[in-house]
Structure 1
Amino acid sequence: MKFIDTIKNIWKIDELKNRILLTLGLLLVYRFGAQVVLPGIDASQLSGLADQTDGGILGLLNAFTGGAFSNASVFALGIMPYISASIVVQLMGIAIPYLQKLQKEGESGRKKINQITRWLTIGITLLQGPGYIYNLYAILPGSAFLMQNTTLFVASSVIILTTGCIFAMWLGEKITDKGIGNGISLLIMVGIIATLPQAFVQEFVSRVVESNGGVIMILIELIIWFVIILASVMLVMAVRQIPVQYARRTSGGSYEKTMGARQFIPLKLNASGVMPIIFAQAIMFVPSFAGKAINTTAVGQWMEAEFANIFGFWYNVVFALLIIVFTYFYTAITVPTNKMADDLKRSGGFIPGIRPGTETSEYLDRIMSQITLPGSIFLALIAVFPAVMVSLLGLQQGWGLFFGGTSLLIMVGVAIDTMQQVNAYLLNRHYDGLMKSGRKRKAVA
């Protein structure tokens, strides 16, 4: 009953209700566009493309686009070029002084960085578009192309794919500004969830209809799935609280350190989110392509066979090691311990037993290094768990992708972030929040 009352309260807040309806409407537009096939392609002959994207690396890309990749849709590239551009700009910000300067300029600098990211997104899409079209030529029969192999068809399709990516990016930004939640992340999550029913039906048919384990195996898989979801929630929410003492300013303007409220600095166990997995997956494309380039040799054939299978042993060993390395790397560039120490010193705060300034920065950096190790290992285990499930229990590969990795972590992270935003609206209006810790007394009339 409390949950039902909370849902009712959500619709009592006009601003929150309008934001939710706008978000749902824009997400519906995105899902509709994922079903619109590129002009010049016979939609009835796309079965070959769907078969190739059933599992493997292409299956992973298809999951992120919500099936648009296998539909030869106008949104076939999804929002992934924008994600790639954002990662590149973020990494370049470490080495390029101009981007570092923009990062320090506040809102104006952020707008310029967003503009650079958009232009880079167009460039990446223009490179990926022709590759996608020629991949269609390699897979689909010639009769599937109503315009045949013409320059006009390739050029128009690349322009449409680029426009589709930019439109998806615009939808994501509108959701962030006018809706609820992070728009880009919501688009990815909705694409992932869109493939969930089909993946479960295929697993159900395999287990029950084909008598490959029966209903008992389905129940066991669902229990394991919920346990992994809980573990992912714990990973996303886990923090190490560093106690901080804030001094009060006396009437003479000086600080009195013996007085003040005690608070905490929350350091996340997994401060890098899913970015290490995305980085690692981008790198894992390289061995497979390198193997294809030198497939006349024994080493090339081994690389092509092992690293083209995302559920293979060596793929996941290297994948896990890369995740651990990238977790340390991304945490180092995104958690500014020096800035945290400076801000703490300027606000009159200090960590008990630690001197303000450099010593505080070194202390925070040491704590981050200590908690990042278990966080990175836990992240790597969740990332490779789909391969474990496919190998041990014989899951369908499409269903196995939901037992960990980027798919599950994105769904969990986006769901928690969206709930926190809804929770904030409820608390600001003196309603009970969605989350257990977010309760506030109702205003007294």
Structure 2
Amino acid sequence: MLTAFARAFKTPDLRKKLLFTLGIIVIYRLGTHIPIPGVDYSNVQKCIDQANANQGLFGLVNMFSGGALLQITIFALGIMPYITASIILQLLTVVIPRLEALKKEGQAGTAKITQYTRYLTIALAILQGTGLVATARTGTLFQGCSVASEIVPEQSIFVTITMVITMTAGTAAVMWLGELITDRGIGNGMSILMFISIAATFPAALWGIKKSGDLAGGWIEFGTVILVGLFMVGLVVFVEQAQRRIPVQYAKRMIGRRSYGGTSTYIPLKVNQAGIIPVIFASSLLYIPALVAQFAGGQSSWKTWIEQNLTKGDHPIYIVTYFVLIVFFAFFYVAISFNPEEVADNMKKYGGFIPGIRAGRPTAEYLSYVLNRITWPGSLYLGLIALVPTMALVGFGANQNFPFGGTSILIIVGVGLETVKQIESQLQQRNYEGFLR
């Protein structure tokens, strides 16, 4: 990976793209430290130092914002609204025929869906910004902080609207910065910003583990976490690259005087075909009862049960529910994102077939059978990776910000691998040596 980056900096046009990407990253990180109007920044810092953030409810959004959410800055919402909007549009594409038709129109249809995603992102940013301001005003953003209710000193409507507009504009700016990286930089812009947001939380989380450790001043715990992290990275790289290659043979066809087809290829079915989506779905779904219980007035038996069982990451009911939801959403997302019947029809249309399998319905049934078999280990792997922070919390008392696990390690490795592949592909286009030097 380091060799690829070193060679890229020696190529003038790639160097410009890399420097442009780094410049956008610097601007993004600066925005995560600029507070919005109406917030008492000194009280925010006191709460961050004194109290443990309510990670059960806001941990995922705070991670995707690079820690900007709990500091209530202009980029507090980060790219979470865009991620949510993209997932919603992707799901609606399967349900709404109009969106499915747009998807099949090629580049023009994709541009239209992208435009819809932007509009939905702004709407979600307004909704999430309003919720964040309301939570900050009531003092429930932090637990155990004496000045939590004084984070937003002025409670007027004008100040509230100004705060929501500022955070919404920050989300739009983040979306624009991501698209700039995609157009003029290296890699997918949103993925790069997501990578940076998560990586920015690693130093503080690792140092927090060192400070809270008891063995040799915390260095033994620190070293153990680093070793576990390296093992996790290797495991994730191995599984993310693993795929089942189904051979496909295309028959020869004569069109005029030319012969077409007769080639052999394969269909790559990844072990983790669903990616990170099931973990995000399961986390979001588990946040709903916790959110309802937090804003519900009074005290009742159902609220007490939710607070005791579904808001604590180390509770057995929470662990089992989280794991089962991840496995379920892994199968659900694979079912809507990969259509074996459509693949079988396309193969039949262009004269392709799987050796030993008849074209048409038998091919679709075979693809479904293989896909179900490889989805089981993929979904179990996702569930176990997502529970690593909980195991660390129960096992040796690491704090809830254990960095190597769940969504963080999956996104870090996935984006890193994809970015390096893009850099290497562009380097091969410019420096391909061939057989003779």
Output the TM-score relative to the length of structure 2.
Answer: 0.91
- Code of the aligned partner of 1:308: T
Q: Report the Cα distance in structure 1 between the residues aligned to 2:233 and 2:428, rounded to whole angstroms.
A: 26
Indicate yes or no: 2:68 matched with 1:76: no
Note the alpha carbon deviations across 1:229-263, whole angstroms, 9 max, x for none.
11111221110011122333357679899xx4433
Match of 1:242 in 2: 246
2:25 to 24, 27, 50: 27
Match of 2:414 in 1: 413
Indicate yes or no: 2:275 matched with 1:277: no
Note the alpha carbon deviations across 1:6-45, whole angstroms, 9 max, x for none.
4442123222212111111111111100000012222111
Do 1:53 and 1:62's aligned partners in 2 also have CA atoms closer than 8 Å? no
Which deviates further from its counterpart, 416-425 or 16-25?
16-25
After TM superposition, list the pairs within 5 Å mapping 1:27-176 onto structure 2: 27-47=25-45, 49-50=47-48, 51-53=51-53, 55-139=55-139, 140=147, 144-145=151-152, 148-176=154-182
After TM superposition, list the pairs within 5 Å mapping 1:356-375 onto structure 2: 356-375=359-378
Q: Report the Cα distance in structure 1 between the residues aligned to 2:436 and 2:63, rounded to whole angstroms.
A: 49
Taking only the aligned residue pairs, the percentage that are identical comes to 38
Q: RMSD of aligned C-alpha atoms?
A: 2.3
Note the alpha carbon deviations across 1:383-440, whole angstroms, 9 max, x for none.
1121011101111221x2x231111101111001101101101222235xxxxxxxxx
**Cα drift, residue 48 of structure 1:** 5.1
- Code of the aligned partner of 1:403: F
After TM superposition, list the pairs within 5 Å mapping 1:211-290 onto structure 2: 211=215, 214-250=218-254, 260-290=262-292
Relative to structure 1, is the Cα distance of residues 211 and 282 closer, same or farther in structure 2, using a 3 angstrom cutoff?
Answer: same
Note the alpha carbon deviations across 1:256-297, whole angstroms, 9 max, x for none.
99xx44332111111110001111111111222344438733
Which deviates further from its counterpart, 68-77 or 12-21?
12-21
Do 2:210 and 2:217's aligned partners in 1 also have CA atoms closer than 8 Å? no
Q: Report the Cα distance in structure 2 between the residues aligned to 1:233 and 1:201, rounded to whole angstroms.
A: 25
Which deviates further from its counterpart, 332-341 or 70-79?
332-341
Note the alpha carbon deviations across 1:142-168, whole angstroms, 9 max, x for none.
65446x111110011111111000110
How many residues end up aligned between the 2 structures?
427
After TM superposition, list the pairs within 5 Å mapping 1:266-415 onto structure 2: 266-292=268-294, 293=296, 296-398=299-401, 400=402, 402-415=403-416
- Code of the aligned partner of 1:194: A
**Cα drift, residue 374 of structure 1:** 1.1
- Code of the aligned partner of 1:404: G
Q: Report the Cα distance in structure 2 between the residues aligned to 1:253 and 1:360, rounded to whole angstroms.
A: 31
Q: Report the Cα distance in structure 1 between the residues aligned to 2:6 and 2:148, rounded to whole angstroms.
A: 53
Q: Report the Cα distance in structure 1 between the residues aligned to 2:315 and 2:225, rounded to whole angstroms.
A: 20
**Cα drift, residue 81 of structure 1:** 0.9
Do 2:206 and 2:222's aligned partners in 1 also have CA atoms closer than 8 Å? no
Relative to structure 1, is the Cα distance of residues 143 and 275 closer, same or farther in structure 2, using a 3 angstrom cutoff?
Answer: closer
Q: Report the Cα distance in structure 1 between the residues aligned to 2:340 and 2:413, rounded to whole angstroms.
A: 27
Q: Report the Cα distance in structure 2 between the residues aligned to 1:12 and 1:335, rounded to whole angstroms.
A: 40
Do 2:125 and 2:168's aligned partners in 1 also have CA atoms closer than 8 Å? yes
Do 1:337 and 1:364's aligned partners in 2 also have CA atoms closer than 8 Å? yes
Note the alpha carbon deviations across 1:193-218, whole angstroms, 9 max, x for none.
111101111111222xx547743333
Q: Report the Cα distance in structure 1 between the residues aligned to 2:30 and 2:421, rounded to whole angstroms.
A: 28
Q: Report the Cα distance in structure 2 between the residues aligned to 1:58 and 1:302, rounded to whole angstroms.
A: 20
Q: Report the Cα distance in structure 1 between the residues aligned to 2:178 and 2:230, rounded to whole angstroms.
A: 29
Do 2:8 and 2:14's aligned partners in 1 also have CA atoms closer than 8 Å? yes
Q: Unaligned stretches of 5+ in structure 2?
A: 140-146
- Code of the aligned partner of 2:25: L
Match of 1:437 in 2: none
- Code of the aligned partner of 1:98: R
- Code of the aligned partner of 1:77: L
Do 1:238 and 1:269's aligned partners in 2 also have CA atoms closer than 8 Å? yes
Do 2:186 and 2:422's aligned partners in 1 also have CA atoms closer than 8 Å? yes
Do 2:137 and 2:151's aligned partners in 1 also have CA atoms closer than 8 Å? no
Q: Report the Cα distance in structure 2 between the residues aligned to 1:5 and 1:137, rounded to whole angstroms.
A: 50
**Cα drift, residue 76 of structure 1:** 0.7
Match of 1:16 in 2: 14
